[in-house]
Amino acid sequence: MRVFITGVDGYLGWSLAQYLTHKGHEVAGADNFLRRSWVEEMGSWSATPILPMNERLEVFKDHFGKDLIFWNGDLTSYDLIENIFREFQPEAIVHLGECPSAPYSMIDVKHATWVQINNITSTFNLLFAMRDICPEAHLVKLGTMGEYGTPGVDIPEGFFEVEFRGRKDRLPFPRQAGSWYHWSKVHGSNNIMFASKIWGIRATDIMQGVVFGTRHDSMGDEEQLLTRLDFDQAFGTAINRFCCQSVIGHPLTPYGKGHQKRGFLPLRDSMQCLTLAIENPAQEGEYRVFNQFEEVYDITDLALTVQKVSGDLGLDVEIRNLMNPRDELEEHYFNPDHQHLLDIGYQPTTDIESEIRTMIEDLMKYRDRIEAKKSALIPDVFWDGSKSKVRFVDEVK
């Protein structure tokens, strides 16, 4: 299948290009390296060293024996996408090319506006180009479980049957996102749902949990195929950040009470799930929602798991909660469905400890890189608009 990946230089994009190529798909991608700039703006870099794209593409070809077709360009340009679609005629479009950071979107009005506009515009461009150039193609759009927030009822996959004052209907499940970034994903989901309705676009909207890990199943031991791995306050996800902290002997830092619950999945499962979605496309006019995660964990339980695995590897780390710069519930109900991917063959990785072990072992090689940027680990972006380094809970009491 011809698959076009936006954001192909990113954490998921670079991995997915490999995974799909290994499985025999023809893969093209686009990127303009904004992720590299954003992370630099946050005073950090990838824990894993990453090559410039021209060198990445050479390593890719050497390893897989196939080219990754690549466009360097900005997805907010409709002309770019139009040209790519005319030339490549994609059968599936995997949209990973949005700005994915809650804290980055909360910095100030400029960042908030930019994140929403950037994310909405790129998705609009893809939708219109699909309508006009490849209307049979299937859009696989990366959203986030964070679109739902933490309601007091179960979270279905996108839609629910509801009874209200004696009448029934199937309605979109209400979204209660927790940052301007998360809302940008809701806005995008709404736009895609509407495009499917009026234009018959085939779309799968992935409400993805928090991804962690350094490895997927098709990269072998080629270090230069490693994907980026961020650990700064804005682009590092929880487990990845904890593992980087562990490697340099920095305390693991849950926010607030630390009993936020989230869905998580390892990178290799994210690859498996995205590929299942691609290989089992939505019907014409179908807008379907997949809640994509393996298991729900409490953040403190995860920190304890990282601490335990670290101990096994001779790394002695403490858990030290930070004051919470976010406005979020720290103890709450959270019970999302995740049946749709299981129905099409998802086989979850259940041994989270060995995933974490592999990741820490990989990261130990890059201890110096993490150490060099460790000040980026401590957040300073508050949801109330203020900016100062967050203090540890035990410093404040």
Q: Interface residues for its own copies in 198-227 (CB under 8 A)? A: 198-199
By CB under 8 A, tell whether 131 contacts its own copies.
yes
Question: What whole-number distance in Å separates Cα of residue 320 and Cα of residue 250?
Answer: 9
Of 223, 222, 265, nearest to 240 (Cα)? 265
Cβ-based nearer residue to its own copies, 151 or 348: 151
> Could you confirm whether 144 is annotated as catalytic?
yes
One-letter amino acid for residue 29 of the chain: G
Of 100, 99, 80, nearest to 28 (Cα)? 80
* Least distance in angstroms from the C-beta of 175 to its own copies: 7
Q: Return the SS3 of 83.
A: helix
Question: What whole-number distance in Å separates Cα of residue 346 and Cα of residue 340?
Answer: 9
By CB under 8 A, tell whether 162 contacts its own copies.
yes
By CB under 8 A, tell whether 175 contacts its own copies.
yes
- The count of C-alpha atoms lying within 13 angstroms of the C-alpha of 287, restricted to the half-sphere facing its C-beta, is 20
* Least distance in angstroms from the C-beta of 205 to its own copies: 15
Cβ-based nearer residue to its own copies, 52 or 385: 385
Cβ-based nearer residue to its own copies, 109 or 396: 109
Cβ-based nearer residue to its own copies, 335 or 354: 335
| Sequence-distant (≥ 6) Cβ neighbours of residue 295 within 8 angstroms | 263, 264, 265, 348, 350, 352
By CB under 8 A, tell whether 333 contacts its own copies.
yes
By CB under 8 A, tell whether 187 contacts its own copies.
yes
CA angle 380, 385, 388 (to 5 degrees): 25
By CB under 8 A, tell whether 165 contacts its own copies.
yes
Neighbours of 50 (CB within 10 A): 19
Q: Which runs of consecutive H residues, i.e. helices, occur in 134-222?
A: 180-199
Binding its own copies by CB under 8 A: which of 172, 249, 285, 348?
A: 172
Binding its own copies by CB under 8 A: which of 40, 67, 87, 108?
A: 108
By CB under 8 A, tell whether 151 contacts its own copies.
yes
> Could you confirm whether 287 is annotated as catalytic?
no
Q: What is the DSSP string of 192-251?
A: HHHHHHHH--EEEEEEE-EEE-S--TT-TT-GGGPPP---STTT--HHHHHHHHHHTTPP
Q: Number of residues in contact with its own copies, rule: CB under 8 A?
A: 51
By CB under 8 A, tell whether 153 contacts its own copies.
yes
By CB under 8 A, tell whether 383 contacts its own copies.
yes
* Terminal Cα-to-Cα distance of the chain (whole angstroms): 57
Cβ-based nearer residue to its own copies, 73 or 156: 156
**Exposed/middle/buried for residue 66 (C-beta within 10 Å: 0-12, 13-18, 19+):** middle
Enumerate binding residues for its own copies (CB under 8 A). Answer: 78, 108-110, 112-113, 116-117, 120-121, 124-125, 128, 131-132, 151-154, 156, 160, 162-165, 167-169, 171-178, 180, 183, 186-187, 190-191, 194, 197-199, 327, 333, 383-385
Q: Which residues are catalytic?
A: 144, 181, 185
